[in-house]
Each structure stands twice: as C-alpha cells, then as structure tokens.
Amino acid sequence: MQKERTQILLRIHWLSHWFFIRRLNIFSRFLDILIRLVYSGRIPGGAHIGTGTHFSHNALAVLINHNAVIGEHCMIGTHVVLGGRVPHPGAPILEDYVVINAGAMVLGNVRVGSGSVIAANSVVIEDVPPGCLVAGIPATIKKRNIDLSLFR
C-alpha cells in the first residue's frame, strides 16, 4: 500500500513538473498544494526528481527547494529538507543512488555524490564525494567507499 501511495505522489509531482516546464504555473501550483494537503510534504513542480526515487512513509514532512535536483533511484526518509541557505544561492543536487535518512538537511548549493549516504539528523553544507557516509552537524565524512547495499 505504501509503495503505491509513493508512486501516486511521484506521478502527481511529475505532472506538476510537466506543467511547470511548460509555464502552466497555475496547474503546477494546484498539484503542489494537493501534495502538501494529502502527503504533508512540500515537493514543488520546479524540482527535478529522477525515476526510481523512493520516499519513506509517503514523503511525510519532506521539504524540497523548487530548484533542487534529485537523481535516479534515490531513497529519501521522512522530515528531510533539501533547501536553500542564506546568503549562499543555489539548491542541492543529489546524484543517483543517494540515501538520505530521516531528519537530515542538505542546505545550499551542495552536490551529493552518487552512492553516498547521509545519516539521520545530519546537516550537510558542503559537497559530499561519491560513495561516502556522512554524519553530524555539520556533516563530515565518516567512511569512504561504502557498500551501498548495507544502507538500502
């Protein structure tokens, strides 16, 4: 049931994104509000989400910047923030197969490398190389060349 609800959420977002890139903002906004009301998260149509991405617990309280880019097959936990950071312009970019655990924040113009894992409640304000485990506030690299299968 949960996987089906997540798929519905992603389909609504992809439709919102389709309207957004065609400058039909009123329809995109309507779908963004629908996502906020039904799923209790903010996933605007301007954000790009790759195929195969999964949100835990139907994206409960997930906040995503409208300029954020999420690669393919990422896993995003509850209460995750992918947002901007004043005074640093830009939004996070997640490459493919990134895992972000519950409560983590990725703030500003930050690139998270493919196959990286962000631990729960971490705050990422600097780029993360591919295949790394980061944790802490601010997040630091705890392990390199991780086996991603242990975290998925």
The residue ranges of every structural domain in the chain are: 2-150
CATH class of 2-150: mainly beta
Measure CA 4 to chain center: 19
Write out the two tokens for 32: 């963004």
Per-residue model confidence (pLDDT) at position 85: 86
Which residues lie below 8 Å from residue 38, measured CB to CB, with a gap of 6+? Answer: none
Per-residue model confidence (pLDDT) at position 130: 97
Q: Consecutive sets of 10 residues in the chain, 152 residues long: mean pLDDT of each?
A: 76 94 94 91 93 90 95 96 89 97 97 97 97 97 91 77
Per-residue model confidence (pLDDT) at position 72: 96
Per-residue model confidence (pLDDT) at position 4: 77
Cis, bond preceding 129 (omega within 30 deg of 0): no
List of E strands, the chain:
48-49, 54-55, 63-64, 69-70, 75-76, 81-83, 93-94, 99-100, 105-107, 111-112, 117-118, 123-124, 133-135, 140-143
**Active-site residue list:** 66
Per-residue model confidence (pLDDT) at position 44: 93
**What Rg, from alpha-carbon coordinates, does the chain have?**
15
